[in-house]
Amino acid sequence: MSFTRRSNTLFHNYSMSGSVISRKFVHRDLGVIMDSKLNFKFQLQKMLSSTKKTSGLVYWISKKFLKRSTKMVLFSALVRSKLEYCSEVWNGICDTDKSKIEQIQNNFLRRVSYYECGRSSSYNVSLEMYHLTNLSVRRTYKDIVFLFKLINNIIDCMYLVSKVYVNVPRLNSRHIRHFRIPQAENFNLVPINRLMYICNSLPSLDFSLSMNTFTQRVKNIIFVIR
């Protein structure tokens, strides 16, 4: 299997014991479907198809429940968890795909609010009403926390650590950047570059804090920005 976005790709045949090894263009590894162009099209298709069905099932099972919190717990456990699985890998998707993911949660909340109130509320109002957060913001939070764990050796992966370039600013520099990002044509396709870019946009982050303090501070920053 080769990974490239070139339109004209040179393929070479490989053989083992006289048999040609068949080439694959899609491969599933640890629950994430990788395609040869790294646009995660098949991963998104499977994820959206699965969560649409599960979301509808959760709605019909829970619509007569008296407690809102019970409905949201079921949605978070059975639907949202699938929408966020390994998002650190595929979160470099385009805005159109991000909107499709957001629409899953939006549709569920709209149906629940219509059943409870007799009318559908806007997405932002529903998020406030049911104490949920925009999925895109939650993925950003996961990205930042993943990089924190990587730097502080909570996640043990020396290869990824070697790809993190800490920025040493000049003494009189006005711009605070935590990391130096290598030049790349499609840096969003490189997860570690995307994570560093996100953290650079939040200069108040302090990676020397404890895990609990850091995560709480990140929540205070990005959930308020939403």
**Quick one: three-class SS letters along 41-82?**
HHHHHHHHHHHHHHHHHHHHHHCCCCCHHHHHHHHHHHHHHH
* Nearest alpha-carbon partner for 36 in 23, 20, 22: 23
Are the CB atoms for 40 and 139 separated by under 8 Å? no
Are the CB atoms for 79 and 57 separated by under 8 Å? no
What is the model's pTM?
A: 0.84
How far is the C-alpha of 80 from the C-alpha of 142, rounded, in Å?
Answer: 13
Q: Is the dihedral of CA 51, 52, 53, 59 positive or negative?
A: positive
DSSP lists the bridge partners of residue 28 as: 33
Per-residue confidence in pLDDT tens, the chain, 226 aa: 677 767 777 777 778 887 877 777 788 888 888 887 778 889 999 999 999 999 999 999 988 887 888 999 999 999 999 999 999 999 988 889 999 999 999 999 999 988 888 788 889 999 998 999 999 999 999 999 999 999 999 999 999 999 998 887 776 666 778 888 887 666 667 889 999 999 999 988 999 999 999 999 999 988 865 4
Kindly report the number of other CB atoms within 10 A of residue 54's CB atom. Answer: 18
- What does the pLDDT read at residue 188? 66
How far is the C-alpha of 215 from the C-alpha of 62, rounded, in Å?
Answer: 31
How far is the C-alpha of 29 from the C-alpha of 38, rounded, in Å?
Answer: 13
- What does the pLDDT read at residue 186? 65
How far is the C-alpha of 9 from the C-alpha of 108, rounded, in Å?
Answer: 42
Are the CB atoms for 222 and 205 separated by under 8 Å? no
Q: Is the dihedral of CA 42, 44, 49, 53 positive or negative?
A: positive
Q: Which helix (H) or strand (E) holds 107?
A: helix 95-117
- How distant is the alpha carbon of residue 201 from its chain centre? 17
